[in-house]
Amino acid sequence: MKYIIFLFCLFTQLPLQSQKYQPMDNWYKFYLNDLGLGIDEHKSELNSFDFSSVLLKTHSSSIYGVIGDDMQRIKIKWISINKDPFNPDTYYAYGKTNVKGNVCEFTGVLKIRTIRLFPKEEYDMPSSSKVNPEKIGVLFCDYNLVENKRQLHTGVFKGVSASEFYIHKGKLFYNDLRASADDMSNNLFVGEWISNSTKKSKICFWGDYRVPNVSGFDCGAAVFSPCSKFDNKGWDDIDEAYNLNDQEALKRELEEWW
């Protein structure tokens, strides 16, 4: 139950109700220190695993992100993530972003900051779970993703990410143990986008199934559903596709834009 309460806070409650989001460092410290994770470092122990499978698990249509204080939608497509064979804490990424139809490719690096594990008693395992993992934990990375300067409206994404995983019978898995829970999310990226042309920055957060670190944006309970006042920021198809069962909107949500 403790895990559920804290995860609810992670997505919906911020220190001041007038704020829409926390500074990146505060979000990271909250996740690291207040969600029940152990204090021991497990990076050297678990570096032998290839976490690219966890990062690449979710289809682009279920990765939701915002850029800027107005909660403009940004779509993310991970095309490849490869582990450096000589530096096990480093991963090289290639993908594309889409903001208001402007598609840009990016390349960059994710570097492991720390790996922490949940003590068994701190993780709320569903009673229906058919697996009993030996380890459940979170991979935290610093990321730096650079959009192609030859394209329009490009910049650099910087921040920290949190990816939940578990290990069962010696194999690494994306943590979907709580897939049926209302708070299901993973691969959370919290940071900023810095424009190549103006050097000004905007907040930029994205994640699997939910957008992390924003309040007053997601009005959904059981499923992700941006509040209607943000429809004109690229979110109108979500409501029509998943709440109103509009097949044309659903088709647009699932189409390959990259």
Cβ neighbours of residue 80 under 8 Å, at least 6 residues apart?
56, 93, 94, 95
- pLDDT tens digits, one per residue of 163-210: 999 999 999 999 999 888 888 999 999 999 999 999 999 999 999 999
The sign of the dihedral angle between the CA atoms of 218, 57, 78, 87 is positive
| pTM for the model | 0.92
The stretches of the chain forming alpha helices (DSSP H) are 2-12, 24-34, 43-46, 52-55, 236-242, 247-254
Q: Check residue 120 and give its pLDDT.
A: 83
The sign of the dihedral angle between the CA atoms of 45, 46, 49, 50 is negative
Q: Quote the percentage of the chain above a pLDDT of 70.
A: 93
Of 71, 121, 60, 123, the residue nearest 95 (C-alpha): 60
Q: Check residue 182 and give its pLDDT.
A: 84
- pLDDT tens digits, one per residue of 4-38: 434 544 554 444 343 489 999 999 999 999 999 99
pLDDT at residue 216 greater than cutoff 90: yes
Q: How far apart are CA 24 and CA 202, in angstroms?
A: 12
* CA atoms in the 13 A half-sphere facing the CB of 5: 5
Mean model confidence pLDDT for the chain: 91
- pLDDT tens digits, one per residue of 39-84: 999 999 999 999 999 999 999 999 999 999 999 999 999 999 999 9
Structure tokens at 6: 């804290």
Structure tokens at 67: 């850029």
Distances (CA, A) of 229 to 72, 79, 233, 235: 11, 32, 9, 9
Weakest-pLDDT range from 185-189, 225-229, 231-235, 241-245: 241-245
